[in-house]
């Protein structure tokens, strides 16, 4: 559970992050939105918080979670060379098509 990728590999956690795209949500709201028990959600929230993907703010008896997408840049960075690779494939395809056009 060290890397961001591993944290994000869990479907429920991805759901939580997607939910937080709408804005800050209380733990209770997140529980209501997930097919999971309250403790289950709470545990996922802890993992996300430890990974720096969310920040918490206390307001009265509630905990408000806010998305913090910065660590996802790590995934983006990892993806970069592969993005280049698939662009090369596209380039090759275009070159091929161009070659066909000439005939």
Partner DNA sequence: GGGAAATATTTCTGTCAAGGAATACGAGCA
Partner DNA sequence: TGCTCGTATTCCTTGACAGAAATATTTCCC
* Residue ranges that bind DNA, judged by CB under 7 A: 1, 10, 12-13, 26-28, 31, 36-47, 56, 58, 60-63
Contact 67, 54 (CB under 8 A): yes
- Token pair listed for 65: 């979670």
CA distances from 40 to 8, 35, 46, 77, 101 (A): 16, 10, 10, 30, 58
Q: Is 77 in the site for its own copies (CB under 8 A)?
A: no
Q: Is 21 in the site for its own copies (CB under 8 A)?
A: yes
Instruction: Note the Cα 45 to chain centre separation in Å.
Output: 13
Shortest separation between residue 81's beta carbon and DNA, angstroms? 22
Q: Is 78 in the site for its own copies (CB under 8 A)?
A: yes
**Looking at the chain, how many residues does it have?**
103
Nearest-CA neighbor of 34 among 76, 71, 3, 65?
65
Stretch that binds its own copies, among 31-39, 43-51, 55-63, 84-92 (CB under 8 A): 84-92
Chain residues binding its own copies by CB under 8 A are: 3, 5-6, 8-9, 11, 14, 17-18, 21, 67, 69-70, 72-73, 75-76, 78-79, 81-83, 85-86, 89
């Amino acid at each position: 559970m060290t890397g961001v990728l591993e944290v994000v590999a869990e479907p429920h956690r991805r759901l939580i992050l997607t939910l937080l795209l709408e804005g800050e949500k209380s733990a209770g709201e997140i529980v209501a939105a997930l097919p999971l028990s309250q403790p289950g959600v709470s545990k996922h929230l802890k993992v996300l918080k430890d990974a720096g993907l969310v920040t918490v703010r206390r307001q009265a008896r509630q905990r408000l979670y806010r998305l913090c997408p910065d660590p996802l840049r790590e995934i983006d960075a990892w993806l970069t060379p592969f993005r280049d690779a698939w662009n090369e494939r596209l380039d090759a395809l275009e070159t091929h098509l161009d070659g066909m056009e000439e005939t």
